[in-house]
């Protein structure tokens, strides 16, 4: 059976109309419902993300405020002591300064005391600080040291290929006044001005049987020994 071109076009049109009706009847509603459900889930997930992001921001601010309070308390406790150690005070100050500038766990070595050439009453307290970070973070750390009047005696940077993280060793320093040396007092012995004791005893009255008669005797040490 040979169909004309017009009949073929009419048949194709009818098939397309029926297929579209079936898709619209059964598939469009499900697709719309699925998209609506997905939109609700995305909105809920976005709200949850914003809520957690706000909590993390508050947590960071609280931790920063806590670190500042603890650092100030430690510094106040170290400076309030009558015999405060300048080296320990400087170590605590540098550690808290690093934490405020974003370096939470710097490695701080033992301090050293170095003389200042041509100066007698003052000296350097040097403190090696080891940490790591990107170039921008390290630049921020150095600016923070300069702002807080922390001297930098030396700076060593070490980097690796294809790695933005750099290792840095900073020798921080502070000028302190040396404590005056305690002067020892010389003890002087004084000669005693007391009179020398006499080898003889003092005169003592000796009463006899007769109350009207008294005899004074002088008894020497030698006589007593005899």
Domains in the chain with CATH codes: 106-177 (3.30.70.60)
Task: Give rounded-to-5 percent helix, strand, coil for the chain.
Answer: 50, 25, 30
CA distances from 68 to 48, 65, 90, 99, 151 (A): 30, 5, 16, 9, 22
Cα(121)–Cα(112) distance, integer angstroms? 17
Tokens of 70: 């603890």
Which one is predicted more confidently, 73 or 154?
154
pTM listed for this prediction: 0.43
Q: Give the DSSP letter string of 192-216.
A: P-SPPPPSBPPPEEEE-SSTT-EEE
Q: Residue 89 pLDDT more than 50?
A: yes
Count of other CB atoms within 10 angstroms of residue 126: 19
What is the average per-residue pLDDT within 100-125?
A: 88
Cα(219)–Cα(211) distance, integer angstroms? 22
What's the mean pLDDT when you consider all of the chain?
75
C-alpha distance across the termini of the chain, in Å: 177
- Identify the pLDDT of residue 96: 92
Give, as one character, the DSSP assignment of residue 119. -
Beta bridge partners of 127: 172
Select from 3, 5, 23, 26 the least CA-distant residue to 15: 23
- Identify the pLDDT of residue 222: 45
Cα(97)–Cα(168) distance, integer angstroms? 16
Tokens of 23: 């898709």
């Amino acid at each position: 059976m040979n169909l004309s071109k017009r009949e073929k076009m009419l048949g194709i049109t009818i098939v397309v109309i029926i297929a579209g009706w079936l898709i619209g009847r059964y598939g469009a509603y499900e697709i719309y419902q699925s998209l609506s459900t997905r939109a609700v889930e995305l909105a809920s997930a976005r709200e949850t993300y914003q809520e957690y992001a706000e909590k993390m921001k508050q947590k960071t601010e609280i931790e920063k405020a806590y670190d500042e309070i603890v650092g100030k308390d430690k510094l106040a406790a170290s400076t309030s002591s009558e015999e405060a150690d300048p080296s320990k005070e400087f170590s605590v100050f540098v550690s808290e300064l690093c934490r405020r500038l974003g370096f939470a766990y710097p490695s701080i070595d033992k301090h050293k005391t170095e003389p200042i050439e041509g100066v007698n009453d003052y000296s350097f307290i040097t403190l090696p600080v080891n940490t790591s970070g990107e170039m921008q973070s390290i630049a921020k750390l150095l600016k923070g040291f300069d702002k807080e009047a922390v001297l930098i005696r030396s700076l060593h940077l070490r980097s690796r290929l294809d790695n933005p993280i750099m290792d840095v060793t900073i020798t921080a320093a502070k000028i302190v006044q040396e404590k005056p040396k305690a002067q020892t007092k010389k003890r002087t012995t004084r000669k005693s001005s007391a009179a020398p004791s006499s080898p003889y005893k003092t005169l003592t009255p000796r009463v006899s049987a007769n109350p009207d008669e008294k005899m004074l005797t002088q008894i020497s040490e030698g006589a007593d020994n005899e």
